Amino acid sequence: MTKAFDSFSKNYNKDLNDALRLTGYDSSTLTKAKLLKLQALFPELVPLHFNLLDFGCGIGNLYESVKQFFPNASYTGVDDSGESINKAQSRFGNNSIFHNLNSENWKKTQYNLIFSAGAFHHIPHDEHKNILKELSGLLKPNGKLVIWEHNPFNPITKKIVTDCVFDQDAVLIYPHQMKKNMLGIPLTNIRIVYTTFFPKSLSFLNVLDPYMGWLPLGGQFVTYGEKIE
């Protein structure tokens, strides 16, 4: 996360959609795909009342759709970009909870699920382990920490990152490195799952996505682990 995103907050979704044009998808569709994957990975959470932290929430795209997939989730969003937080708050009103990264308020809650999508590649890699450790400290027993990132092995993903105006500082993360950092926290039951294999023109093949998580060619990968009791 970076305060440089202040300048991108106004046109964030437009700029993102421009970068995604190669895939045929838009930001809303891919946000829902993330939530669908979370639902598939953690079906036990669907009926529960639980606390969800969106670390690197940007302008709140995840919040917009979260109730469709986790109807009883209590959402908190946090981001280092003050302008992005202001826009998220203005989009969704007083019922939504968004905090600046520097606030202590979001750290007062224990979470069942902490999710971060596309934030860590903007953070210097030597800071990752400490941030993951801090986040894991906010998990309830058996809580899940889930990091969703671009797959550096996928050439289309690398082109999208190169073309995206707000990814100019991005340094993509190799899956084994994210797993190594999680092992050092420590978390348990750590897994890497690859996802987002097909462009919109081949979206009828998305039914295969759950069976291809082992294949390191997906456009994205998910690394997740569970807090040791």
Is it the case that residue 195 has pLDDT exceeding 60?
yes
pLDDT digits (tens, 9 = 90+) for 152-192: 999 999 998 988 887 888 899 999 999 999 999 989 999 99
Look up tokens 């294999």; give the residue.
197
pLDDT at 213: 97
- Please compute Rg for the chain using Cα positions: 16
Q: What is the pLDDT of residue 2?
A: 54
- pLDDT confidence tier of residue 222, bands split at 50, 70 and 90: very high
The 3-state secondary structure of the chain, one letter per residue: CCHHHHHHCCCHHHHHHHHHCCCCCCHHHHHHHHHHHHHHHCHHHCCCCEEEEEECCCCCHHHHHHHHHCCCEEEEEEECCHHHHHHHHHHHCCCCCEEECCCCHHHHCCEEEEEEECCHHHCCHHHHHHHHHHHHCCEEEEEEEEEEEECCCCHHHHHHHHHCHHHCCCCCCCHHHHHHHHHCCCCEEEEEEEECCCCHHHHHHHHHHHHCCCCCCCCEEEEEEECCC
Spatial CA neighbour of 210 closest among 218, 58, 202, 139: 218
Do 83 and 9 form a contact (C-beta atoms < 8 A)? Answer: yes
Q: What is the mean pLDDT of residues 55-72?
A: 95
Which residues are CB-contacts of 64 (< 8 A; sequence separation ≥ 6)?
Answer: 28, 31, 91, 92
**pLDDT-above-90 percentage for the chain:** 80
Report the Cα 44 to chain-centroid distance in Å: 20
Check pLDDT > 60 for residue 21: yes
- Look over the chain and give the mean of its residue pLDDT values, rounded to a whole number: 92
